[in-house]
Amino acid sequence: MPFIYITRAVPDAATELLAKGLPDARVEINPHDRNLNRAELIEAAAGCDALICTLADPLDASLIEDLGPQLKVIATYAVGYNNIHLEAAKARGIAVCNTPDVLTDATAEVAVGLMIACARRFADGDRLTRSGGFTGWAPMLHRGHGVYGKTVGIVGAGRIGKRVAATMKHGFGCEILYFSREDHVDWENDLGAAKVELGELLQRSDFVSLHCPLTPDTRHLIDADMLKLMKPTSVLVNTARGPVVDEAALVAALKAGQIAGAGFDVYEHEPALAPGLAELDNVVLLPHIGSATHETRAEMGRMCARAVIAVLTGQEPQHRVI
């Protein structure tokens, strides 16, 4: 009887599919509304044949070994897999699978929403109104910046970055710049996008939207020096991975007026925020909800379940990283 451990509660769609595909399996789920610490995870999941984890579960080489030799598949409830020691998994013959494509639209919606919310100052406008500070319409009240026709810089030319670019181009008539290791002729043809170096993108863009994976090369890609290149009227949006931005440098830049605002859904030391970030009025801070629609989260669960079922029944999973 295979043993499947799930590190956080997931939508019922995942467990229902596991029950159909592996009716004899023992499925256990972390009962707490929090991530397990290392010792707890090892105790709970030791001897499992399959692990469904989240991006908040750091699976290093020794932890993977401690889970036992029976482990055959790790299905991460995310697109990114920087929290998993891939070489250790590969050396032990463990398949690692992720959930690409399904969360493209949901995350792009959040990125676009953050641009608009920052430019038009939705969050502090909401606070003003709730606190009783709104006393009536006035010509100088709560002015922000427009979005239509502005320049949007996309850092990372993947699925989500392209969807954001297309939305801003076709929906708001924006000029699109992008920074990527590779040329994307389809972007240039479909969107009239221009590939530029990161420095030029930061200097020219009214909105900078981050969509790159977290790697050693992208950690603190946006640091104090890069922030100094941005316009004082510009907005930085991050729906990628928190450590792509030096958060302490961001706080300093926002306080100094080097940029106008920031909209973040991910954080460098998540869930903790850099000191001073939460106190700023020119930021919109979301609790990592890029993929948080009922439809998307349910399908992510099904994708993890399909990966587990495939590996444990001797088939090749569809979205295998290694």
Catalytically annotated residues: 241, 270, 288
Contact 206, 146 (CB under 8 A): no
Rounded Cα–Cα distance for residues 121 and 299 (Å): 33
**What are the residues facing 235 on neighbouring strands?**
207, 261
Tokens 């932890």 belong to residue: 63
For the sheet containing 235-238, what is the strand order? 194-195, 175-179, 151-155, 207-210, 235-238, 261-264, 283-285
Contact 274, 220 (CB under 8 A): no
Rounded Cα–Cα distance for residues 161 and 164 (Å): 5
- CA proximity to 244, closest of 273, 271, 275, 213: 213
Straight-line distance from the first to the last Cα atom of the chain, in angstroms, rounded to the nearest whole number: 25
